[in-house]
């Protein structure tokens, strides 16, 4: 039993002593170079993945920005048409105060202005859509 214990202690001392020995400069240089290469490869792979992720996110942002611009253009068209409708109703009401042919010419002029304003609203919206 004593021999076994002594042998175990001696083995631990030998193994422990071997762990404290420094590596040769060539071995250290080789390990450092390998670690640097591995780190460089990991960074390059991470940058590649990040670039893909950013590209995908940018595409999504572009799509959302396009949707936003198209919605804004359509809403601007709707507002312009609503304004033209209101202006037309007010102008037609004013035309009612005129007699005969003057009233007819007034209403025709109001209608022409209305259709022009409506066409301009549609053209502006089409120009601003993407």
The domain total for the chain is 1
Indicate whether 54 belongs to any domain.
yes
Indicate whether 111 belongs to any domain.
yes
| pLDDT given at position 26 | 86
Q: Is the pLDDT at 15 greater than 70, yes or no?
A: no
| Entry pTM | 0.57
DSSP 23-89: PPHHHHHHHHHHHHHHHHHHHHHHHHHHHHHHHHHHHHHHHHHHHHHHHHHHHHHHHHHHHHHHHHH
Per residue in 16-32, pLDDT tens?
555 567 888 888 888 99
> Tokens standing for 71?
């919605």
Indicate whether 23 belongs to any domain.
no
Per residue in 54-108, pLDDT tens?
888 888 888 888 888 999 999 999 999 999 999 999 999 998 998 999 999 999 9
Indicate whether 29 belongs to any domain.
no
Residue ranges making up the domain that contains 76: 35-128
Indicate whether 98 belongs to any domain.
yes
């Amino acid at each position: 039993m004593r021999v076994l214990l002594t042998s175990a202690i001696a083995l631990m001392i030998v193994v422990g002593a071997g762990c404290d020995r420094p590596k040769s400069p060539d071995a250290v240089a080789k390990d450092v170079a390998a670690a640097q290469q591995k780190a460089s490869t990991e960074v390059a792979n991470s940058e590649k993945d990040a670039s893909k992720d950013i590209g995908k996110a940018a595409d999504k942002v572009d799509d959302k920005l396009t949707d936003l611009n198209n919605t804004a253009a359509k809403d601007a068209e709707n507002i312009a048409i609503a304004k033209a409708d209101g202006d037309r109703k007010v102008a037609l009401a004013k035309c009612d105060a005129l007699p005969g042919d003057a009233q007819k010419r007034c209403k025709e002029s109001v209608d022409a202005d209305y259709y022009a304003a409506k066409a301009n609203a549609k053209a502006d919206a089409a120009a601003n859509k993407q």
